Amino acid sequence: MQDRWDPSLAFDDPLDECVYGSRLIGSDPYLVLHGGGNTSVKAPWTDVTGEEIDALYVKGSGWDLGSIEAAGFAPLPLSRLRRLLELDELSDPDMVASLSAARLDPSAPQPSVESLLHAILPHRAVLHSHADVIVTLTNLADGEARVREALGDDVVIVPYVMPGYDLAKVVSRMWPQHGRPDTRGMVLMNHGLFTFADTTREAYARHVDLITRAEEYLDRHAPLATDDTATLPDVDPADLARLRRRISAAAGAPMIVTRHRNPMVARFVSRPDLESLARRGPLTPDHIIRTKRIPLVGTDVDAFVSEYRAYFERNEGRSEMELTMLDPAPRVVLDRRLGMLTVGRRPADADIAADIYHHTIPVLERAEDHLGGYVALGEGELFDVEYWDLEQAKLRRAGSPPPMAGRVAVVTGAASGIGRACAAELLSRGAAVIGIDISPDVAGTFDGPAWLGVEADVTDPDAVAAALTAGVERFGGVDMAVLAAGIFGGSRPVADLDPDEWRRVQAVNVDSAAHLLSRLHPLLTESPASPSVVVVASRNVPAPGKGAAAYSASKAALTQLARVTALEWAEDGIRVNIVHPDAVFDTGLWTPELLAERAAKYGLTVEEYKRRNLLSVEVTSATVAGVVAELLSERFSATTGAQIPIDGGSERVI
């Protein structure tokens, strides 16, 4: 393990040093994944009277170690924590309530559920991670012996105990017997590594030392697989969309499904023992709320659901409380043809499951191929964590999903103007968006896991097909589409029409839409979420103007295309509606100079010209996007074939 501590740094405040060390640990995915791990430092707390209190500053729940700040640590009085450990027993809800009440700063975050364990250890600074190499050693039939052989005698090894009060009590009993002045760390079986020292710098150095020992041991006895030649075939996007629909039905909500087929995944799914190995359980129970206990091997979703229900029924009696079964849909799918699919309510959730399983695969391979076989915790112990109220609280803190969570939209012309505004509105409502545009800027138009910008000319059928394939492999399918790509073309009377310009406008505004709709149909029919399409036409359809023959004719043809599509696709449950914007001046078509010229022609100011409609309102791209998003939403589930003007009211249209 590389020691990334900057030796030039000096810290006067032990909490600042703890923040720095926490970020080093948290920013390394081989140590900590997605909220895992925790850290602490013992330092004085000064109250409003000036009295100093011996305190434990411990990572707060909900904070990510990779980006934590001082505000992410909850200060707790050490004396209170140690008194809690004198109790014979304490339920986890009572422990959490006691820790919350003990905060010296009531505005601090809720303390980590492992706060009492940090308080027990007789060191000022404590770091805890779920390092891949450590959990590799602990998930073996002879795990304790392997840990001792790899790390030596200066670690305390603790058998698996569920985190919380019980674990803290076990460590409080073990430490006086096994802890020594030269003890450098503590390994929790099937869980992870603790190191501790007088300073965070020393605790970090011990982390580096022990993980390096584990790496060197594994390199000698269990070298990583290096064959990166395995490949997986292309698949029909409709096959992925069909599987997503079945997974979503099992989950009771539309889900994002992302395909992964890198060489490591391709190698792993080709193993003859794939089903046996993959179904043994996660590296650490912390992963179970993201990945479920086991992945689906193959594509039989119904069988996985039945098995999950049976698993719940076998184990629900382990809890004294009445439990409600979580949705039984898989979160990881492993298939010899498809590779690995990861599932989540949002793209970020699917990505978290992917990150975890990308780290799981090499651990499984090393353990199974070189170390006597991979052994995870038993089913009952994993169930206890999956249905542990404190773990469920992590999911509840995320809140209710936004209205379009799990839904996937395709938006053309997404890098600018109305298309960009539609993409922004759909993203704000929780949708994942595949944005297609001829501009190379489309890739970076928006940030975040819910956006996939693909550079493609909508008049190029192969490029559009490739864009849809990329989008389906990223998100699993398509539920909504906004056809916003279009051009105005040159303005000239019919007597002077340029045939090439006429064809160019028709190709972009009509022909490309016809092709895209034909490619979307097999995907939309597999949508789990009320599939719908909105076509962006123009006020020029009901009220054309002079000099715009090519544009007006193309938008009229586009409107007819959409109407016929609405008629044909209704039997598939797919809605198709049309909007007719006008005078949308915040697009690339309108420069300040052109606006000034047009306003002057009518003897108006620019602002007056923008509001030259019956309602005297300005129509913006965002105005159009709001209507488009509503048409795509469930509120218009009984509407198809509609044509809605978005023009502030036009006498010519009305």
Statement: residue 251 has pLDDT above 80:
yes
Q: What is the pLDDT of residue 395?
A: 63
CA distance 302 to 169: 42
Q: Name the more confident of 225 and 627.
A: 627
CA distance 622 to 342: 33
Q: What is the pLDDT of residue 454?
A: 98
Catalytic site includes residue 551: yes
Counting runs of H as helices and runs of E as strands, what totals does the chain give? 24, 18
Give 511's DSSP letter.
I
Q: What is the pLDDT of residue 588?
A: 74
Q: Spell out the residues 6+ positions from residue 399 whose beta carbon is closer than 8 angstroms to its own.
A: none
What 3-state class would DSSP assign to 56? strand
Q: What is the average per-residue pLDDT within 140-164?
A: 95
Give 252's DSSP letter.
T
Q: What is the pLDDT of residue 598?
A: 84
Q: What is the pLDDT of residue 112?
A: 93
Q: What is the pLDDT of residue 227?
A: 81
* Burial (Cβ within 10 Å: 0-12, 13-18, ≥19) of residue 316: middle
Q: What is the average per-residue pLDDT within 594-602?
A: 88
pLDDT in tens, 282-324: 999 989 999 999 999 999 999 999 999 999 999 999 988 889 9
Give 496's DSSP letter.
G
pLDDT in tens, 11-45: 999 999 999 999 999 999 999 987 689 999 999 99
* Burial (Cβ within 10 Å: 0-12, 13-18, ≥19) of residue 313: exposed
Place of tokens 């690339």: 588
Identity of the amino acid at 611? R
pLDDT in tens, 378-423: 999 999 999 988 766 666 666 788 999 999 999 999 999 999 999 9
Q: What is the CA radius of gyration of the chain?
A: 30
pLDDT > 70: what percent of the chain?
Answer: 98
In the β-sheet with 185-188, what is the strand arrangement from edge to edge? 73-77, 52-59, 38-46, 125-129, 192-197, 185-188, 155-158
Sign of the torsion formed by the C-alpha atoms of 454, 455, 456 and 457: positive
Q: What is the pLDDT of residue 394?
A: 63
What 3-state class would DSSP assign to 261? coil
Architecture of domain 409-584+619-646: 3-Layer(aba) Sandwich (3.40)
Q: What is the pLDDT of residue 491?
A: 84
pLDDT in tens, 163-198: 899 999 999 999 999 999 999 999 999 999 999 999
Q: CATH homologous superfamily for 14-221?
A: Class II aldolase/adducin N-terminal domain (3.40.225.10)
What 3-state class would DSSP assign to 622? helix
- pTM recorded for the entire structure: 0.94
Q: Where are the alpha helices (DSSP H) in 493-548?
A: 499-506, 512-524
CATH number of 237-396: 3.40.225
Q: What is the token pair recorded at 366?
A: 């090393």
Q: Kindly name the residue from 387, 551, 602, 609 that is annotated as catalytic.
A: 551
Segment among 28-42, 123-137, 234-248, 435-449 with least mean pLDDT: 28-42
Q: Which helix (H) or strand (E) holds 480?
A: strand 480-483
Contact 261, 353 (CB under 8 A): no
Summary mean pLDDT of the chain: 95
pLDDT in tens, 337-349: 999 999 999 999 9
pLDDT > 90: what percent of the chain?
Answer: 90
Contact 105, 15 (CB under 8 A): no
Q: How many angstroms separate the first and last alpha carbons of the chain?
A: 72
Half-sphere exposure (Cβ direction) of 324: Cα atoms closer than 13 Å = 3
* Burial (Cβ within 10 Å: 0-12, 13-18, ≥19) of residue 30: middle
Statement: residue 367 has pLDDT above 90:
yes
pLDDT in tens, 539-595: 999 999 898 999 999 999 999 999 999 999 999 999 999 999 999 999 877 888 888
| Among candidate residues 301, 277, 303, 279, the one with its CA nearest the CA of residue 292 | 279
Domain range annotation of the chain: 14-221, 237-396, 409-584+619-646
User: Rounded to 5 degrees, what angle do the CA atoms 180, 182, 186 make?
Assistant: 70
CA distance 470 to 434: 9
User: Could you please report the per-residue DSSP string of 406-475?
Assistant: T-EEEEESTTSHHHHHHHHHHHHTT-EEEEEESSGGGGGSS-STTEEEEE--TT-HHHHHHHHHHHHHHH
Q: What is the pLDDT of residue 389?
A: 80
**Backbone φ, ψ for residue 257 (5° rounding):** -130, 120
Segment among 216-230, 461-475, 551-565 with least mean pLDDT: 216-230
What 3-state class would DSSP assign to 141? coil
Same fold, 14-221 and 237-396: yes
Contact 241, 527 (CB under 8 A): yes
Q: What is the average per-residue pLDDT within 100-124?
A: 96
